[in-house]
Amino acid sequence: MRYLYSTMLDNEQERDNEGGTQDSKSNLSHLFRIALGFAVVSALILIYLLVPRSGPAPRILAGGLASGPSMIVQELSVLRSAYPGIKIENTFDPIKSDWKIIISKDDKTMELYWAEGRYLPEKLLASKDRYRRLIFYIPDKLVDPATLNHDQIEEIRAFGSSESRETAPISATYIFESIYDTSTRQNVERHIVKTSFLGKQVSVHEQIVEPLKRVDTQIRTAATTNPLVEEFIRNLNSAEGYSWRQIRDTSGISFHSMGLAIDLLPRRWQNKIIYWNWEKNKGNEDWMLIPLSERWMPPDIVIDIFEKEGFIWGGKWTVWDNMHFEYRPELILGRELVKP
């Protein structure tokens, strides 16, 4: 009982010493046992803290970085739902002070770092500012240019300027190399297949054939009761999918280069504008103010069907590209996560 109060140990010892040598011996062995127990418990705690573990373990990054772990847990959950064909694990790298993301598919494994949502290979961590977050915000509803204030207009103008197009952060596509095996043109082309979309032939990555088919079926069904959708299909001129091109001086490639995007081009444009940059190149510096009614648009229900199947529509981008659809289920599923 006497050792329960360690702060009183000295006093107790004095008293025991008065009592005889036998007690003193038992004191020492008791002390030794306590010291040993303390050492074992400390070692176990230290091992627990140092050994990297798979799965969400936000405990290490408590305090100032508390928003990080909960964000990474949510992002990985979104990515796992978006891409059930790959295995995603995460482990904390104390040397890099960042989460290592291990993505495996078939017999291949790729290691990336979280880098605040950028998903970059180790060699790019030093230049991470050149990249933007993988999951960015796609609005539910189109922004009406009539509601933009002066500052927003100037911000958009700057965003669309050629200087900004040269230097603005871009998406790192490394995670897609792992998901779709798209690290080289040769690899990509092994997976490109011809399929039919709303009666037009299009070349895309084999992994988006099924989601595209689901979109096709639902649009055709909608056309049976919705004359706008019926007209949209009838007016479709072509669907352009895979097209190899490198982006700038980076190793990033466009979603067309991976066969993950399609452009739907209408037969008749009815004087409408379909792409911001064509208008800007014609000398219209106020391209962002072009009313929605003057832009070519697929019917709302078509956009909704695409989104429901994991495709984003370029018409919602600040630099709008109204013909463009891209398979990005993580952006649809992660919408709430990055809502401004």
Interacting residue ranges for Zn ion, rule: CB under 5 A: 261, 263, 324
Q: Mark out the alpha helices in the chain (DSSP H runs).
A: 9-19, 21-50, 67-82, 150-159, 162-167, 174-180, 185-190, 209-223, 227-234, 276-281, 300-308, 329-333
Between 112 and 261, whose beta carbon lies closer to Zn ion? 261
* 120 versus 239: smaller Cβ distance to Zn ion: 239
Q: What is the DSSP string of 134-183?
A: SS----SSPPPGGG--HHHHHHHHHHTSHHHHHHS-EE--HHHHHHH--S
Shortest reach from residue 278's CB to Zn ion, in Å: 13
CB of 230 to Zn ion, least distance (A): 24
Angle (CA) 298-235-204 rounded to 5° is: 70
Q: Output 262 or 338, the one with its CB closest to Zn ion.
A: 262
Closest distance of CB 240 from Zn ion, Å: 7
Residue nearest to Zn ion (CB): 324
Q: Are 172 and 124 in contact (CB under 8 A)?
A: yes
Minimum CB separation of residue 314 from Zn ion in Å reads 6
CA distance 13 to 22: 12
Spatial CA neighbour of 250 closest among 116, 127, 102: 127
* Residue number with CB closer to Zn ion (261 or 312): 261
Q: One-letter amino acid identity for 181? A: D
74 or 203: CB nearest Zn ion: 203
Cβ of residue 323: shortest distance to Zn ion, in angstroms?
Answer: 6
Place of tokens 């127990």: 37
Residue number, 69 or 314, with CB nearest to Zn ion: 314
Which H or E run includes 205? strand 200-205
Smallest gap, in angstroms, from Cβ of residue 321 to Zn ion? Answer: 6
Q: Please state whether beta strands 192-197 and 200-205 pair in parallel, antiparallel, or not at all (unpaired).
A: antiparallel
What's the rounded Cα separation, in Å, for the pair 206 and 188?
10
The CB-of-325 to Zn ion minimum distance in angstroms stands at: 8
- For 160, list phi and psi in degrees, rounded to 5: -90, 0
Contact 123, 196 (CB under 8 A): no
Q: Closest approach of Cβ 111 to Zn ion, in Å?
A: 30
Tokens of 171: 């998406």
Closest to Zn ion by CB, 263 vs 309, is 263
- Shortest approach of Zn ion to residue 256 CB, angstroms? 6
Tell me whether residue 113 or residue 328 sits nearer to Zn ion (CB atom): 328
* Nearest to Zn ion of 324, 335 (CB atom): 324
Contact, 137 vs 335, CB < 8 A?
yes
